[in-house]
Amino acid sequence: MHYGLGDYVLDIAQNAVEAGPREVSLDLDETEGGFRVIVRDDGCGMTAEEKARALDPFYTDGTKHAARKVGLGLPFLAQAVELAGGRWAIESERGVGTKVEFAFPSASVDSPPAGEIPSLFLGLLCLPGDHEMLIRRSGPRGSYELRRSELSEAVGGLERASSLALLKDYLVSMEYDD
């Protein structure tokens, strides 16, 4: 199991990026009732059978690691959400893309801590690939949007450590606006 909310989000987004998408979008909504997350991609998608098997921890499509027999991302999420009394759903279509939605209620002691949101967004934006990523964040301090291509252009790419430090400062300013 993962420790924080951001770990689940990053894990699901990693799946989205590995599906070969042109665009990945992430919605992270925080209300008094809890966190709601939607991750969408227009990558390869799954058939109904593959989607059902993706929830089996002892199944993986074998494309990333030929000898590996487990795939834990979605099973971890489903287990954690159900433990906390939240909800999750996955929609996918082969050749069209995948949408994963989940919510953790704030009233449950089993909901994971939110953690550092700027660190989560830094990790999301730096996931490898040429895809576009759109992050929409709404929370107690208002809402904002992040677009990967714009930020990459502004800081001079998303790989050099100096650029990543600048990007982190920007993300902190967006999240903790006084």
Binding site for another protein (CB under 8 A): 1-3, 6-7, 10-11, 14, 18, 64-65, 68, 71-73, 76, 116, 119-120, 122-123, 126-128, 144, 150-151, 154-156, 159-170, 172-174, 176-178
Q: Alpha carbon of 131 to those of 12, 41, 54, 74, 174: distances in Å?
A: 16, 10, 23, 22, 23
Report residue 83 CA to chain centroid gap.
Answer: 20
Smaller CB separation from another protein, 96 or 144: 144
Smaller CB separation from another protein, 70 or 107: 70
Smaller CB separation from another protein, 106 or 173: 173
Q: Which residue has the tokens 């921890």?
A: 57
Q: How far is the CB of 126 from another protein (least distance, A)?
A: 6
The answer to whether residues 74 and 51 touch, using CB atoms and an 8 Å cutoff, is no
Sheet containing 97-105: which strands, arranged edge to edge? 87-93, 97-105, 34-41, 23-31, 132-139, 142-147
Smaller CB separation from another protein, 83 or 166: 166
Q: How far is the CB of 20 from another protein (least distance, A)?
A: 13
